[in-house]
Chain A
Amino acid sequence: MDELKKIAPELSKIKKENPFRVPENYFEDFSARLHERLEAEKAGVHRNQNRIIQFLKPAIGLAAGFALIFTLSYWPLRIFTPNEQAKNLSTGNSESEMLYASWVEGIDENSFYAMLDNPNGSVNFTDDDLADFVNTNSSEYDIYSETEN
């Protein structure tokens, strides 16, 4: 204060008071108004979160739609065409199995019977080879009817 008197004597003579006033009950009402704004602020945060969901909604809907279509089309197929499905599943044979199958299928019927008639021929068949041939070229019904005769 003494320092102020030295550097600003006129200023130090002025009574130090607040020349401004506020409307009646301003400070009493301020908290309530602030509270309202805070609530709006909190709601705004939620709105922003909802906005993200709104933004992602079409993409989520599209993905859900595809999932539904896939389920609805795949399920009945699986239920009503089990053989087709099984066939599809059995295509996963190994390479050696496929080579063996093509060799067995490659033998024509005439040469097979000619070989059976000539047991001293140069080609030797094992019992397994024969069983494979029969299994590949004849159904269970054919085998049954042949053995009955």
Chain B
Amino acid sequence: MDNSDLDLIAGLKNEKTRDLAFNSLVKKYQERLFWHIRKIVMDHDDADDVMQNTFIKVWRSVDKFREESSLYTWLYRIATNESLTFINSNKRRSLIPMNDTSEFLMNNLASDAYFEGDKIQKRLQEAILKLPEKQRIVFNLKYFEEMKYEAMSQVLDTSVGALKASYHHAAKKVEEYLKSRD
């Protein structure tokens, strides 16, 4: 864990400096967490809601943070869980079958006013949305964010070997989708 994160944690655990430290934490991590969440929920407003929920949860549970993992992976873990909870509750509300996430997210992508990628980018996003939930998260973390498997292992609570296999399968499926639509 880098020194600035250690300072942040110490600040968060002290009642007097908590507000200031929390503000610094938000400033430092908001952008990275937003893009991580955005690629899971596929809608700007939903991502905004989930990011707020994520930081509220961080605020509430900072006393429980045991420093066994780094601050950065802890935040990603909360953000991932909040995103998945959000998708599942949305699916329940919309009466969408639990295994039909990709259709629901594909609709989000189609109506996304903040998507400004070209045709190839759109096809890549569609290919990613076809992946099973966990593979999709692994692929996004590795391909776009270039997160190390060790860190990813802490975020997703999965072994490094399983994550490598998951990324390998995901990349192959994306490749097949891209080729099939050429």
Residues of A at the B interface (CB closer than 8 Å) are 4, 7-11, 14, 16-23, 26-27, 30-31, 33-35, 37-38, 41
Contacts and interface: CB of A to CB of B under 8 A. Distances in A.
Contacts of B143: 16
Interface stretch (B65-73, B118-126, B152-160): B118-126
Interface in B19-52: 23, 26-27, 30-31, 34-35, 38-39, 44, 48, 51-52
Interface string B152-182: 0000000000000000100110110011001
A30 B116 contact: no
A4 B171 contact: yes
Interface of B: 23, 26-27, 30-31, 34-35, 38-39, 44, 48, 51-52, 55-56, 59, 112, 114-118, 120-122, 124-125, 143-144, 168, 171-172, 174-175, 178-179, 182
A22 B116 CA distance: 10
B57 to A, nearest CB: 11
A26 B30 CA distance: 11
B56 A22 contact: no
Nearest to B143: A16
A12 B125 CA distance: 14
Nearest to B53: A37
Nearest to A42: B59
B114 A31 contact: no
B114 A21 contact: yes
A14 B124 contact: yes
Nearest to B116: A21
Contact of A30 (B30, B38, B114, B178): B30
A30 B179 CA distance: 40
